[in-house]
């Protein structure tokens, strides 16, 4: 967000980066499709950069309140003041809901059979699904003419967040974000801008199975939980970028450094009576990048853009002992393994933007980009001992000999617009070397002999992904608009011959909207095809196709707006694809999507 790297703390991705800020903080979301951003490390598939709300001149106040089915309450309030030399903003948001119900009328916490030990305890089935408080403050000061500094801080406390697909739920997830940016505008005739940024983010996360049957006391379970994971991650980053006029075009150059520490400790009654396991073994990760990008307006209709990026990274699992590496990790891999590793990568791209005639824009891009293996892919380690009750339990071992992913991609895009309609379409083809994928590793001992079961791990494979999307809008008579979009991606693991796991099926939407500025009403059909391209080697399961209808309406009057709607109007019972490979804590049960869901939002803006 605003160039600040936010990593989640949970090894099971309970808190992906987007979890860590509130919608009310967001002005816009910048999406770079494909490996065309050189400013930030680690985006061989693209970039999602969230832009925070800018402070408007004078006093400002914005408040929203939403009430929805299952007692969902989302509220936010922001106050700001923008002056000539200084600006300030303060905001607060609260979110709460009971667990939603799916199309069969059952809560998503009520998906386990009576006999399952992963079942929520009776009085937790309708407990809070989440309870989140977010607070943020931002101030900006002009230091001298052309030089300004901005400091912002945010604190988010998410409590009691339920994850029915996993074996555990979050007790808390606490995030801090601190960002300090100093901007020098036009410091000399040739230099447009120099930006210096220093940031710090920290996430503290605790998850356990206290709301599940599995934590009921017995001979083994002698604490409030059968299993718990305590995780923490911290990032400190520095960016320095400069924009210069060079020749006919503009040169953007910079350095991008960050340090990340990630630590997660698992305790389980089933593993040596709650003995701590270094699941993410206190990994120190340093990455240093250099980049330069030139934008050249060749003519009034053609712009060429290209650049390069170099990265060096070190990753050190400080809490992974030689013994644990030899006994737990090494048996699953043939290369010899080290607890500290370093990586060097280089990448670059060239892009063409062409407007042959009014209303038509063509984009062509060619890129080669890389990302370092993540600390989890390199070093996660969870030893689990299969029992009579759980014979299929596997170990979970990272692969410290992984290489960085390399993506060689080509993109082609076309935008066509007239007074009455626009169409935006694109296709891409991606040739991936050393793509990092999950793999099922067989029992390295003779089955039933020795103490190592089968495992899940990671490997570098050759892969390809191709896909495309098309979206459009048509103006019809009587203030009506037709909106449509369709997207498809297909991936193949070229080493195993299987489809790549976790690929979305063909999906899209079709909508009809009546809009006269002060009032609108819109009906949208969202749909996805079945996904039968699954990785059988990972026991990935197929998903059926589905279609649901959403309806919404809104009124705008001066400073007030009211919106209301119903999602999944016909209360369909359906599942979306993805997200069921993320061991080690998945239960294997698919969680259905939300059934009919009604909401009303009131917003005020001064
Ligand atoms: Cu978690």
Query: Which of helix, strand or coil describes residue 584?
Result: coil
The alpha carbon of residue 243 and the mean position of all alpha carbons in its chain are separated, in whole angstroms, by 29
Average pLDDT for the chain: 93
The alpha carbon of 231 and the centre of ligand 1 are apart by a number of angstroms equal to 8
Collect all residues with Cβ–Cβ distance below 8 Å to 390 and sequence separation of at least 6.
none
CA of 9 to the centre of ligand 1 (A): 7
544 phi and psi, to 5 degrees? Answer: -75, 155
State the distance from the centre of ligand 1 to the C-alpha of 230, rounded, in angstroms. Answer: 8
Residue 529 CA to residue 479 CA, distance in Å, equals 31
Cβ within 8 Å of residue 508, ≥6 positions away: 484, 485, 486, 487, 526, 527, 528
Distance 155 CA to ligand 1 centre (A): 19
**Cα→Cα distances 493→366, 464, 466, 533, 542, Å:** 22, 7, 12, 11, 17
pLDDT over threshold 70, residue 387: no
Q: Report how far ligand 1's centroid is from the alpha carbon of 587 (Å).
A: 13
Cα dist. 514→161, 519, 551 in Å?
38, 8, 12
Q: What is the pLDDT of residue 560?
A: 96
According to the model, what pLDDT value does residue 442 have? 87
What's the 156 CA to ligand 1 centre distance in angstroms?
A: 16
What pLDDT digit, counting tens, does each position of 193-220 carry? 999 999 999 999 999 999 999 999 998 8
Ligand 1 centroid to residue 572 C-alpha, Å: 29
Distance 290 CA to ligand 1 centre (A): 33
SS3 for 329?
A: helix
Residue 468 corresponds to which tokens in the numbers above?
């495309």
For residue 226, the CA-to-ligand 1 centroid distance in Å is 15
User: What tokens appear for 412 in the block?
Assistant: 């082609």
If you measure from the C-alpha of residue 173 to the centroid of ligand 1, how many angstroms do you get, rounded to a whole number?
Answer: 8
pLDDT (mean) for 67-90: 95
Span from the CA of 263 to the centroid of ligand 1 (angstroms): 12
Query: Can you give the pLDDT at residue 391?
Result: 65
Distance 264 CA to ligand 1 centre (A): 10
Q: How many Å lie between the centroid of ligand 1 and the Cα of residue 277?
A: 15
> Residue 17 Cα, ligand 1 centroid: separation in angstroms?
13
Ligand 1 centroid, distance to 211 Cα (angstroms)? 14
Ligand 1 centre to CA of 11 (Å) is 6
Cα of 8 to ligand 1 centre, how many Å? 9
Written as one string, the DSSP assignment of 349-399 is: EEEEEE-SSTTEEEEEEEEEEEEPPPHHHHH-EE-----SS-TT--EEE--
d(CA 229, ligand 1 centre) in Å = 7
Q: Say what the pLDDT of residue 385 is.
A: 73
For 332-352, what is each residue's pLDDT tens digit? 998 899 999 999 999 999 999
Distance 10 CA to ligand 1 centre (A): 4
For the cut 90, the answer to whether the pLDDT of residue 444 exceeds it is no
Q: Are 345 and 407 in contact (CB under 8 A)?
A: no
pLDDT digits (tens, 9 = 90+) for 508-559: 999 999 999 899 999 999 999 999 999 988 888 899 999 999 999 999 998 9
Instruction: Flag whether pLDDT at 382 surpasses 70.
Output: yes
CA of 3 to the centre of ligand 1 (A): 25
Strand partners, 511: 483, 524
Q: How far is CA 556 from CA 519, 553, 560, 602, in A?
A: 6, 10, 6, 10
Distance, CA 12 to ligand 1 centroid (Å)? 6
CA of 586 to the centre of ligand 1 (A): 11
How many angstroms separate the first and last alpha carbons of the chain?
25
Task: Give the residue-averaged pLDDT of 113-118.
Answer: 91
The pairing of strands 227-246 and 249-268 is antiparallel
CA of 536 to the centre of ligand 1 (A): 27
The lowest-confidence range among 43-57, 231-245, 286-300, 583-597 is 583-597
Going by C-alpha positions, the residue among 305, 236, 258, 249 that lies closest to residue 40 is 258
CA 63 – ligand 1 centroid, Å: 31
207 Cα–ligand 1 center, Å: 5
Q: Ligand 1 centre and the CA of 48: distance in Å?
A: 23
Ligand 1 center to residue 581 CA distance, Å? 15
Report, as an integer, the average pLDDT of 47-73.
94
Q: Is the dihedral of CA 312, 317, 323, 328 positive or negative?
A: negative
Q: How far is the CA of 20 from the centre of ligand 1 (A)?
A: 14
Give distance in angstroms: CA of 129 to centre of ligand 1. Answer: 14
> Percentage of the chain surpassing pLDDT 70?
97
pLDDT of residue 43: 86
Least confident among 80-89, 130-139, 458-467, 578-587? 578-587
Beta-strand pair 395-397/455-476: parallel
Q: pTM for the full model?
A: 0.92
Position 587 confidence tier, pLDDT thresholds 50, 70, 90: confident
pLDDT band at 584 (very low <50, low <70, confident <90, very high): low
Using the predicted structure, report yes or no on whether residue 566 has a pLDDT greater than 70. Answer: yes
Kindly tell me if the per-residue pLDDT of 450 is higher than 80.
no
Helix (H) or strand (E) holding 322: helix 322-324
CA of 205 to the centre of ligand 1 (A): 7
59 alpha carbon – ligand 1 mean position (Å): 40
**235 Cα to the center of ligand 1, angstroms:** 18
Q: Please report the pLDDT score of residue 149 as a whole number.
A: 96
pLDDT score, position 386: 67
DSSP string, 211-242: TBGGGS--SS--SS-SEEEEEEEEEEEEEEEE
Distance 567 CA to ligand 1 centre (A): 28
Peptide bond into 584 cis (omega under 30): yes
Distance 253 CA to ligand 1 centre (A): 38
Distance (Å) from CA 130 to ligand 1 centroid? 14
Structure-block tokens of residue 293? 């990008």
pLDDT surpasses 80 at 123: yes
Over residues 40-46, the mean pLDDT reads 90
**What's the CA-to-centroid distance between 209 and ligand 1, angstroms?**
11
Predicted local confidence at residue 490, as pLDDT: 97
According to the model, what pLDDT value does residue 484 have?
97
| Residue 480 token pair | 């009506």
pLDDT tens per residue across span 239-295: 999 999 999 999 999 999 999 999 999 999 888 889 999 999 999 999 999 999 999
Residue 493 Cα to ligand 1 midpoint, Å, equals 29
Tell me, in angstroms, the distance from the centre of ligand 1 to residue 171's CA. 9
Report the separation in Å between the CA atom of 14 and the middle of ligand 1, taken as the mean of its atom positions: 5
Cα 213 to middle of ligand 1, angstroms: 18
Q: Contact 48/16 with Cβ under 8 angstroms?
A: no
């Amino acid at each position: 967000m605003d160039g600040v790297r936010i990593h989640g703390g949970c090894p099971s991705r309970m808190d992906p980066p987007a979890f860590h800020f509130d919608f009310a903080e967001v002005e816009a979301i910048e999406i770079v499709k494909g490996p065309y951003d050189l400013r930030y490390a680690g985006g061989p598939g693209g970039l999602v950069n969230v832009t925070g709300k800018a402070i408007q001149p004078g006093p400002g106040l914005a408040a929203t309140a939403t009430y929805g089915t299952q007692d969902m309450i989302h509220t936010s309030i922001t106050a700001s003041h923008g002056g000539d030399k200084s600006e300030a903003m303060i905001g607060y948001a609260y979110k709460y809901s009971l667990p939603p119900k799916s199309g069969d009328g059952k809560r998503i916490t009520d998906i386990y059979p009576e006999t399952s030990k992963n079942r929520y305890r009776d009085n937790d089935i309708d407990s809070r699904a989440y309870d989140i408080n977010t607070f943020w403050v931002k101030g900006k000061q002009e230091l001298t003419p052309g030089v300004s500094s901005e400091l912002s801080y945010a604190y988010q406390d998410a409590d009691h967040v339920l994850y029915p697909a996993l074996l555990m739920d979050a007790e808390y997830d606490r995030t801090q974000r601190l960002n300090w940016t100093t901007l020098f505008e036009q410091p000399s005739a040739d230099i447009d801008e120099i930006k210096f940024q220093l940031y710090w983010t920290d996430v503290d996360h605790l998850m356990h199975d206290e709301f599940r049957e599995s934590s009921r006391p017995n001979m083994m379970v002698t604490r409030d939980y059968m299993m718990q994971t305590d995780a923490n991650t911290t990032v400190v980053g520095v960016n320095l970028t400069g924009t210069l006029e060079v020749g006919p075009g503009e040169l953007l150059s910079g350095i991008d450094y960050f340090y990340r520490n990630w630590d997660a400790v698992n305790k389980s009654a089933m593993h040596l009576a709650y003995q701590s396991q270094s699941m993410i073994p206190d990994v120190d990760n340093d990455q240093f990048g250099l980049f330069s990008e030139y934008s050249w307006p060749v003519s009034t209709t053609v712009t060429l853009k290209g650049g390069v990026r170099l990265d060096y990274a070190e990753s050190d699992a400080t809490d992974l002992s030689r013994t644990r590496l030899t006994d737990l990790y090494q048996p699953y891999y043939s290369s010899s393994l080290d607890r500290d590793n370093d990586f060097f990568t280089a990448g670059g791209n060239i892009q063409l933007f062409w407007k042959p005639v009014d209303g038509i824009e063509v984009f062509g891009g060619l890129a080669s980009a890389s990302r370092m293996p993540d600390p989890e892919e390199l070093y996660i380690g969870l030893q689990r001992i299969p029992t009579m009750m759980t014979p299929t339990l596997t170990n979970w071992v990272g692969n410290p000999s992984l290489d960085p992913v390399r993506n060689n991609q080509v993109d082609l895009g076309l935008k066509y617009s007239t007074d009455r309609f626009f169409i935006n379409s694109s296709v891409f083809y991606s040739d991936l070397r050393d793509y990092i994928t999950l793999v099922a590793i067989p029992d390295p001992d003779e089955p039933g002999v020795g103490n190592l079961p089968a495992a899940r791990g990671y490997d570098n494979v050759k892969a390809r992904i191709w896909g495309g999307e098309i979206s459009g809008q048509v103006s019809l008579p009587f203030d009506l608009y037709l909106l449509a979009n369709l997207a498809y991606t297909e991936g193949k693991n070229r080493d195993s011959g299987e489809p790549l796991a976790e690929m979305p099926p063909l999906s899209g939407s079709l909508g009809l909207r009546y809009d006269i500025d002060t009032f609108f009403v819109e009906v949208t059909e969202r749909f996805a095809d079945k996904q039968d391209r699954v990785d059988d080697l990972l026991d990935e399961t197929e998903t059926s196709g589905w279609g649901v209808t959403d309806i919404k309406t809104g009124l705008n009057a001066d400073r007030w707006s009211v919106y209301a709607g119903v999602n999944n109007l016909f209360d369909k019972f359906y599942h979306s694809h993805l997200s069921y490979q993320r061991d080690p804590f998945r239960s294997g049960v698919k969680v259905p999507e939300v059934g009919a869901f009604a909401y009303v939002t009131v917003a005020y803006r001064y």
